[in-house]
Amino acid sequence: MAGIPSIGTLIYLLLGGVVAGILASAASFASLASYPLLLSVGVAPVYANVTNDAALIWNSLGAVFASGRELHGHWRQVWIYGSFTVIGSIIGCFLLLAFPGKVFERVVPFFILIAGAMILISGKHQPDLTKQKPQWLKSLYIFLLIVVGGYAGYFGAASGIVILVLLTYLSDEDFLVANAIKNAVCGFTNLVALIIYSFTSKIYWWDAIPMAVGMFIGGYLGPIVLRYIPAKLMRWVIALLALIQAVIFFKQAYL
């Protein structure tokens, strides 16, 4: 899509961004709404993924503003865990740029399917605060933070879910604090990806800006919405949507 979008398209991207932002705060699933949104207005798959990163950081910013109380006294953890995901994000960005667009289109359906499964698995884990974690296990979780950072830089759908699960293993914080740390960590990860893509790829800013505004609003509203919607119901609905999207993208890439 070239040039300035129509008013209708701008509103469409803004409202879609709000929905994506709420999904991100609720289940770290922004990309499963925002990525197809960009495809629907004519942005090519690789550029849609890059443009999506430009909007995602505003979702994290909105969520961080809404979670100031939970983040108080936990910024050191944000910096530590964020440094590992940022390393991975840098690797993932260059992997996306190194391979042809067709490769990306072919792996996306599987990413989405795995992401749908992750949203269900994440709801089953409850941290055991009575047990001291061995150092080798903590090192494994740190390594996995780098791996998921790479995935976030490459595509990212539900990467926040994986980060959240790892944080519940790494720290003894309650869910609300771990989720707030996750939002901040994802923000830094997406910011680094945006900086890299700004110099190495093409970002459709006229599509990214209205989505970013919507994501900021949705990111702020997400924690409020979560107070009224059962988390289990939301996980199942999003997992079903992920399955449907995976089937659609699989047909487009392979059939």
DSSP 193-244: HHHHHHHHS---HHHHHHHHHHHHHHHHHHHHHHTTS-HHHHHHHHHHHHHH
What is residue 33's three-state secondary structure? helix
Q: Is residue 109 part of a domain?
A: yes
Q: Is residue 56 part of a domain?
A: yes
Q: What is the spatial distance between Cα 218 and Cα 209, in angstroms, rounded to a whole number?
A: 14
Percent of the chain with pLDDT over 90: 18
Looking at the 3D structure of the chain, how many domains does it have? 1
CB 105 within 8 A of CB 255: no
Could you tell me which residue, 49 or 90, shows the higher pLDDT?
90
- Selected residue with higher pLDDT from 60 and 40: 40
pLDDT given for residue 178 in this prediction: 82
Q: Tell me if 241 is assigned to some domain.
A: yes
In a domain, 1, yes or no: no
DSSP tag of 42: T
Instruction: Tell me the mean pLDDT in the region 140-161.
Output: 82
Comparing 10-24, 62-76, 189-203, 225-239, which segment has the lowest mean pLDDT?
225-239
pLDDT recorded at residue 157: 63
Whether 2 maps to a domain, the answer reads: no
Say how far apart CA 54 and CA 50 lie, in whole Å: 7
- Judged against a pLDDT cut of 60, whether residue 129 lies above it is answered with no
The tokens for 21 are 């932002």
Query: Whole-number mean pLDDT of the chain?
Result: 82
Domain holding 160, by residue range, is 7-254
Task: Decide if pLDDT at 103 tops 70.
Answer: yes
Residue 53 lies in a domain: yes
- Contacts of 234 by beta carbon, 8 Å cutoff, 6+ apart: 26, 27, 226
Question: Does residue 201 fall inside a structural domain?
Answer: yes
Answer whether residue 134 is part of any domain.
Answer: yes
Q: Which residue has the tokens 């992401």?
A: 115
pLDDT, mean of residues 61-65: 83
pLDDT at 100 over 80: no
**Per-residue pLDDT tens for 158-209?**
677 778 778 877 877 777 788 789 889 988 898 898 899 888 888 999 999 9
Q: Report the pLDDT value the prediction gives residue 1, as an integer from 0 to 100.
A: 46
